[in-house]
Structure 1
Amino acid sequence: MTDALPERESMTLPLPRHQRAHGRAELGFGLRLRGTALRHLYHAAPLRVLFPTPEPGEPPMAALVNVGGGLAGGDSLDVAVEIAEGGTAGVTTPAAEKIYRSLGEDSLVSTTLELRRDATLEWLPQETILFDGARFARHMRVRLAPGARLLAAEMLVFGRAARGERLESGALFDSWRLWRDGRLDWADATDLSGGPGTRLSQRFGFNGAGAAALLLLAASPAEALAGRDLLRGAGHDATLPRPGLLLARWLGEAMAVRAALSATLPMLRASVLKLPPQLPRLWTS
C-alpha cells in the first residue's frame, strides 16, 4: 500500500511590489563677475531642473519639475540647494505638486538649503495638493551663515478643492528646522496622523480649512521687523518669534490662501530683498 500523496502546495503568489520613484536634485550657485551663476547641477528622474530666462533685474530662478506628475506612496524626492557667499538665486516649481492616495507607504520629500555668508535664496514652490488617502512626510532643513537671507513659502491643500474633495484619511507630517551660524534658531512641525479629517475639522485647530500656507523670512532683525510692519499694514497677521525671523500663516480655502501669498511675496521681495515686486513668472504663466 502506497503512502498518501502530500497535499498540493499552495499556488498563491505574493502581490507584486509596485515600482517606486526616488528622485534627487542638487543645485549650487556661486557669485561671478556678472552676478550669480550656476556652478553645480545634478538631477535624477523623476526630478528635472529647468532654468527659465530671468526677467530684467531678476536673479537666476531654477524650476524643479517632477516629470512623474506626482508622488505615490513609497516615492521620494531629495533636494539640496547651496548658495555661495554673496550669491542670490531662487527655486520654484512650474505647477502644483500632487500627492496621490497611498496603499500604505508614505510619500517622502526631503529638502536641505545651505546659504553661505551674505547669500540670498527665494524658496517659492507652488502648492502641494494632498489627495484623500495620501500619506505625506516632508522635512525641511535650512542652514544660514551670518548675513544670509531666506524668503520661503510653502502651501498645502487638503484635498482636491475643484472636486469638492477633503482630506479625510491618510497622514501628514511636515517639519522645519532652521539653523543660524550653527545653532538651532527655529523648529516647527505639523502632525496630522491618525485621521486627518477629524484634526482638520477641529474648531481650535484648522477649523475646517481647505488649505494652509506658511511664509518665512529669515534676515537681519531690522529687515524682519520692517517686513512684519509691512504685512500688518496690508492687513495680514505676522509675528517675530525670534529676532530676524518673520512668520506669517494663512488658513482658508485654497484660492484665498494662494491669493494671500501672491499678494505678500512681491511686497517682501521689493522692500527687503530689493528685487522687482513680482511673483516668479511660472506662478502666473
Structure 2
Amino acid sequence: MDALPERARMTAPLPRHQRAHGRAELGFAHTPRGTVLRHLYHAAPLRVLFPTPEPGEPPMAALVNVGGGLAGGDSLEVAVELAAEGTAGITTPAAEKIYRSLGDDSRIATTLTVTEGATLEWLPQETILFDGARLARRMEARLAPGARLLAAEMLVFGRAARGERLESGALFDSWRLWRGGRLDWADATDLGPAPGARLGHRFGFGGAGAGALLLLAASPAEAEAGRALLRAAGHAATLPRPGLLLARWLGEAMAVRGALSAALPLLRAGVLGLAPSLPRLWTS
C-alpha cells in the first residue's frame, strides 16, 4: 500500500484516546436477617466487592477502579439506594488517583438515596490529584425523613510522597444534600484554571497539601451529640442547619488523614451505634 501523500499526513486528524466510562449501581434492602443486597450492576473499570463484615457490623461494599486511576476524559458514575430501616456502607480499598490531563476533565458523579429510618455510610479513601489533573466531581444525596448519612471525602493536592503540588489543572467539587424533597445544604469548591495560586493564598487554603470534609446528616439531637463528641476530642465542628454536622480539616496529607481517621470512629460509635472503628480496608 502506498504511503499517504505528505499533505494528507499533515492534515489527518489526531487519533482519539480511548476513554473509560465506569458505572456501579447498588440497592440494599432490610430483612429479618439484616441488610442485604437486592440490586447490583457494575461496568468496567468499576467493580464492586463485598468483604466479609466484622461480627455485628453492617455490610460494607468496596468500589474498586480496576484501571488504577482516572485520566482526562474518563468518567465514573455511582448510584446507591438504601431501603427503609437498612444500614450499609460504601468504601474503597485504596486512594483514587486523578492523573495529569491532556485537556479533558475526569468526571465523577455520585447519587445516594437513603429512605426512611435507614443509615448509610459513604467512606471512600482519599482522592489524589496529580499536578495537571482536571477533576469535575458531583455528589447528590437524597435523604427521606428519619434517614441518616455519615459521609467523608478527602482530597490530596499533588503526590505528597514525591513533594509534588497541584500547580496546574482544575478542580470543581460540588455537594447537594436533599432532605424530604427540599435542598438542605449545598457546597462547591472551584479552584479554576490556576489551582496552585488559590491553594497557596493566605486567605484561601493557606498552602495546605490536603483537605477533608466530614458530614453527618441525622436528627438535630444526634447532630448536636456528634458536635460535642468532636469538640471534646479537639476537632472543630459546626451545625449550619439543625440536624447537619460539618467538620473540615486543612493541612498536610498525613495530618489530615489522621484527624479524619480519629473523628470517624467517634461518630460511628457515639451517634450511629456502630463499632468505634474505621472500615477494615482503611487499615489493611
Q: State the TM-score, normalizing by the size of structure 1.
A: 0.97
User: What is aligned with 2:258?
Assistant: 259
User: What is aligned with 2:247?
Assistant: 248
Separation in 1 of the partners of 2:136 and 2:222? 32
Question: Secondary structure of the residue that 1:90 maps to in structure 2?
Answer: strand
User: What is aligned with 1:3?
Assistant: none
Residues 8, 195 of structure 1: alpha-carbon distance in 2 compared, 3 angstrom cutoff: closer
User: What is aligned with 1:109?
Assistant: 108
For residues 21-170 of structure 1, the aligned pairs below 5 Å read 21-170=20-169
Separation in 1 of the partners of 2:68 and 2:205? 28
Question: 1:47-88, CA deviations, whole angstroms, 9 ceiling, x for partnerless residues?
Answer: 000000000110000000000000000000000000000000
Separation in 2 of the partners of 1:127 and 1:90? 16
Displacement of 1:258: 0.2
Which residue, out of 9, 33, 42, partners 1:11? 9
Displacement of 1:9: 4.3
User: What is aligned with 2:198?
Assistant: 199
Q: State the TM-score, normalizing by the size of structure 2.
A: 0.97
Displacement of 1:33: 1.1
**One-letter identity of the residue aligned with 2:84:** E
**One-letter identity of the residue aligned with 1:16:** P
Displacement of 1:15: 1.3
User: What is aligned with 1:273?
Assistant: 272
User: What is aligned with 1:220?
Assistant: 219
Question: 1:98-139, CA deviations, whole angstroms, 9 ceiling, x for partnerless residues?
Answer: 000000000000000000100100000000000000000000
Displacement of 1:8: 7.4
**One-letter identity of the residue aligned with 2:146:** G
Question: Secondary structure of the residue that 1:82 maps to in structure 2?
Answer: strand
Separation in 2 of the partners of 1:266 and 1:227? 11
Displacement of 1:10: 3.4
RMSD: 0.9
Residues 128, 8 of structure 1: alpha-carbon distance in 2 compared, 3 angstrom cutoff: closer
Separation in 1 of the partners of 2:81 and 2:250? 31
Matched, 1:175 2:136: no
Question: Secondary structure of the residue that 2:222 maps to in structure 1?
Answer: helix
Question: Secondary structure of the residue that 1:147 maps to in structure 2?
Answer: coil
Question: Secondary structure of the residue that 2:271 maps to in structure 1?
Answer: helix
Structure with higher Rg: it is 1
Question: Secondary structure of the residue that 1:222 maps to in structure 2?
Answer: helix
Question: 1:233-254, CA deviations, whole angstroms, 9 ceiling, x for partnerless residues?
Answer: 1111000000000000000000
User: What is aligned with 1:4?
Assistant: none
Separation in 2 of the partners of 1:232 and 1:265? 13
Separation in 2 of the partners of 1:56 and 1:240? 33
Q: 5+ unaligned residues in a row in structure 2: which ranges?
A: none
Runs of 4+ displaced beyond 6 Å: none
Separation in 2 of the partners of 1:130 and 1:91? 21
**One-letter identity of the residue aligned with 1:133:** G
Question: 1:194-244, CA deviations, whole angstroms, 9 ceiling, x for partnerless residues?
Answer: 200000000011000000000000000000000001101111100000000
Question: What is the percent sequence identity of the aligned residues?
Answer: 82
Separation in 1 of the partners of 2:84 and 2:158? 40
